[in-house]
Structure formats: structure tokens, C-alpha cells
Amino acid sequence: MMSTFDKHDLSGFIGKHLVYTYDNGWNYEIYVKNGHTLDYRIHSGIVGNRWVKDQEAYIVRVGESIYKISWTEPTGTDVSLIVNLGDKLFHGTISSRAGS
């Protein structure tokens, strides 16, 4: 049986300020401003100390307290992040476009 939660209901996610670390040690911080915009800061890694405001993003709810955010950084790097608020778990993928 399929769940009946509303995938467009982002009320449990908007306004969240989250800090997470990738397996490679890079620390990120994001603030979900609304249903299509976030601010993020990269604290470490080769692009550490970068602060990006008003980044357009695709944000969708994929579970009861699970959200997916996808965006393209100004550098051309694509980011996709699953945030499981209930279990305090993040899973992210970053990839650079060929030729960028």
C-alpha cells in the first residue's frame, strides 16, 4: 500500500538550519529558506569558506520526515542531498559536469 503523505508539504523542512559532513570530511551548512531556495556555506574542503545565498533548488518530500534537495552550485557542481530528519541521517552526492 502506498503512503498518502503529501510530497509537496515542506512545512516540516522550511526554516531548518542543518550542518552535515560528507565522508570525505567536507563540512556543509544549509538553511532552507522556502520551497525552492536555500543558503549554504562550505566550511572545509577545496572550496572551503564559500557562502552562497539564494541558491535555487528543487526540494521535495520523499517520506514522512525525509526530504530531497538538488541544486547546481555556481561552479557547475551538481549536488543532491537526502535529509532524513527523523533519523538525523544525510546522504549526499556531488558531481562535476564534464568540461567544467
Q: Are 66 and 85 in contact (CB under 8 A)?
A: yes
Given 22, 28, 56, 58, the catalytic residue: 28
Q: Are 53 and 39 in contact (CB under 8 A)?
A: yes
pLDDT digit string, tens, across residues 40-99: 998 887 777 889 999 999 999 999 999 999 999 888 989 999 999 999 999 988 888 755
Given 22, 29, 31, 73, the catalytic residue: 73
The CA distance from 49 to 7, in Å, is 33
pLDDT digit string, tens, across residues 16-38: 999 988 888 888 899 999 999 99
Q: Are 69 and 56 in contact (CB under 8 A)?
A: no
Q: Which structural domain range is residue 77 located in?
A: 17-96
Residue 88 lies inside a defined structural domain of this protein: yes
Residue 63 lies inside a defined structural domain of this protein: yes
Cell numbers found for residue 75: 561552479
Q: Are 12 and 34 in contact (CB under 8 A)?
A: no
Active site residue 28: yes
The count of structural domains within the chain is: 1
The CA distance from 36 to 21, in Å, is 23
Q: What is the CATH number of the domain that holds 42?
A: 2.40.128.20
